[in-house]
Every structure is written in structure tokens, then in C-alpha cells.
Amino acid sequence: MTHIIEARNVSVTFGSGATKVEAVKNVSLTLAEGEPLGIVGESGSGKSTLARVLAGLQPPTSGEVLFDGKPIYKGNKSYVGDERHLVQMVFQDPYASLNPQLTALSAVAEAVRIHDKCDRKSAEAKALELLKSMGIASMDAAKKPRQLSGGQRQRVSVARALSANPSVLLADEPTSAIDQSAQAQLLNLFRGLLNQGLAIVLVSHDLGVIRYLTKRVYVMKDGVFVESGNTESIFNDPQQAYTKELLASIPGTLGVAARKKLQG
Ligand SMILES: Nc1ncnc2c1ncn2[C@@H]1O[C@H](COP(=O)(O)OP(=O)(O)OP(=O)(O)O)[C@@H](O)[C@H]1O
Ligand SMILES: [Mg+2]
């Protein structure tokens, strides 16, 4: 199997002395082309830091990341050359990543222009198409981030990321700030993207969301992977106490089943 991304023994340490935080500790990971992969773990376990390393935004303190077999970091630079656009990240907080002054259409059109180097008119036409495919009607495309719902903002961020025609989409907690129906809508859009061959790394503290979308998952705690493998197997037969705890914290029937298993 071809691995589009491979992380080898990646560690990330912030600060030093008393303020030193080892956010990621000697973690190795593979992502196959077109694969739906999950990274799950509680708050502060290092998920966003690892995702930023994979996106080329956070040089690791040690270890390396390969894209298509080639190291992506050269010193503090990353994805030097034509490959930069192939890995796109949707951030945990879409407010922070979308320019508050730009309408959804302008934000996406700007990204299209950067990648396609086309004129404004064709960039806007492509941006409208992308927004439409993400379920954003032209009326909403004319709105600025604060005038959109949380779910709409997330979908605008995804449309912006897709404007680069990436091979990999890293989605960091895309569903955490939106309600259940908006979550379902976004996850179904992700399903559609997977069907088109995009690889998606879904980062979430919510095992329910991970189960819905991914086939393989890494369970993260305190900067390390405590368990990894087939998502369904891990759901049905978690090996580690930490994974069992995460499962038991899911509301609804799945949580009840997992709780029973914990008790039994
Ligand atoms: N730039 C930074 N400087 C210092 N410490 C940081 C920095 N970024 C993250 N950390 C620390 O690294 C650890 C992991 O943070 P990270 O954001 O990766 O966790 P997470 O799993 O994404 O959490 P959440 O589910 O809350 O988003 C935390 O202890 C955090 O405080
Ligand atoms: Mg995070």
C-alpha cells in the first residue's frame, strides 16, 4: 500500500525548564491514499499539535514526516515546492482561520486565485461551485463569517481548503462547535469527498464521530498513541483502559453498551 503521509518518531516539545510541555512524544503514523483516518483523545492529548506537524505548520522537535516518501521539513521550512497545497488543514476554530472582513465567496475565491492563478471572475465562479458543493447557497456566500452559523463557517473553511485540490484534508475537531444535524451534514460531505479519493485525517475527542467516518484510528493520550487499529475492532473490543473510558463517555446507546462492558 502507498503511504501518502508517514510520520516517524515525531516528538514536539514546547518551552523549557519549568514551562516545558512534551505535547507529542515519539509518535509514528501512516496514512494511505484516500484513507479515512481518525485521531482521537481527550483535551490536551496532543492531537492538534500532531495535526499541525502533518500539515507542515509545526516543525517537530525530533523525528520526521514524509509526504509521498520524501521528508517535508527542511529546517523550519516545509513542503518546499509544488507539494505544499496537497495537504490542507481545516482548523479547530474557523473564526480564527477565516478573515472576518471577507465574505465566504471572497475568502474562497481568494484561495482559488492563489492556487489556480486565474482571473477574479473565473475564481469567483469556481468558488461558488465549491461553496455550493459544501451546501452553501449563493445568498449565504455573500455573508461574512459572523453572519454565518457555526456549521456554515466550518463548511466555508472546508471549501477554502478544497480550493487547492488537495490529496489530504486534515480536519481538526470539525464538528465540536456545531449541533447534531450540522455535524451529520458535514460528515456526509466528508463521505462524498472520500468517495472522490481524498484522504481525510479526522481529529476529534468524539469517538462517535470517528466511528462514523473512519476505518482506522489512533487513540492518543498524553502525547502518545495508547492504541491503534481498525476502528470497528477498537469500538467492539477496546484493549486499553483509556479507550474504554473514552467509549463509556459517549452519550446514547453506544455509551451504555460500553459502560456495561466496563462494569462486566
Ligand atoms: N504553542 C504552544 N506552546 C506551548 N504549549 C502548547 C502549544 N500548543 C500546544 N501546547 C500544549 O501542548 C499540549 C497538547 O495540546 P494540543 O492542542 O495538541 O491538544 P489537543 O489534543 O488538540 O487538545 P483539544 O482536544 O483541547 O484541542 C497541551 O498541554 C497544550 O497546552
Ligand atoms: Mg485540539
Best CA proximity match to 169, nearest among 197, 128, 131, 130: 197
- Is pLDDT above 50 for 252? no
Q: Are 54 and 170 in contact (CB under 8 A)?
A: yes
Using one digit for the tens of pLDDT, what is the confidence trace for 94-110? 777 899 999 999 999 99
Strands 62-67 and 21-32: unpaired
Question: What does the buried/exposed string (b/e) look like for 123-139 if buried means 16 or more CB atoms within 10 Å of the residue's CB?
Answer: bbebbbebbeebbbeee
Nearest alpha carbon to residue 29 among 11, 14, 13, 42: 11
Q: Among 10, 13, 47, 61, which is best to mutate for testing ligand 1, by the most ligand atoms less than 8 A from CB?
A: 47
Protein residue whose Cα sits closest to atom 24 of ligand 1: 43
Assign 250 a pLDDT band (cuts: 50, 70, 90). low
- Average pLDDT score over residue span 166-195: 90
Is the Cβ atom of 184 under 6 angstroms away from ligand 1?
no
Average pLDDT of 68-97? 84
Percentage of residues of the chain with pLDDT beyond 70: 93
Ligand 1 pocket member 223 (CB < 6 A): no
Closest ligand (CA of 172): 2
Nearest-atom index, ligand 1, CA of 51: 18
CA–centroid distance, 37 to ligand 2, in Å, is 16
Under CATH, domain 3-263 is a member of which superfamily?
P-loop containing nucleotide triphosphate hydrolases (3.40.50.300)
* Residue 23 Cβ contacting ligand 1 at under 6 Å: yes
pLDDT value of position 168: 97
- Phi and psi angles of residue 22, each rounded to the nearest 5 degrees, phi first: -95, 90
Q: pLDDT by residue (tens digit) across 181-203?
A: 888 888 999 999 999 999 999 99
Q: What is the mean pLDDT of the chain?
A: 90
- Answer with the residue of higher pLDDT: 85 or 200: 200
Which sequence spans correspond to the domains of the chain?
Answer: 3-263
pLDDT for 203: 96
Q: Please write the tens of the pLDDT for every residue from 37-77.
A: 999 998 999 999 999 999 999 999 999 999 999 999 987 78
Q: What are the angstrom distances between the C-alpha of 158 and each of 51, 98, 107, 143, 199?
A: 16, 11, 11, 16, 14
Atom 22 of ligand 1, nearest CA residue? 48
- C-beta 58 within 6 A of ligand 1: no
What is the pLDDT at residue 26? 98
Sort strands 216-221 and 199-204 into parallel, antiparallel or unpaired: unpaired
Pocket test for ligand 1, best of 11, 12, 21, 172 (most atoms within 8 A of CB): 21
State the pLDDT at residue 182: 84
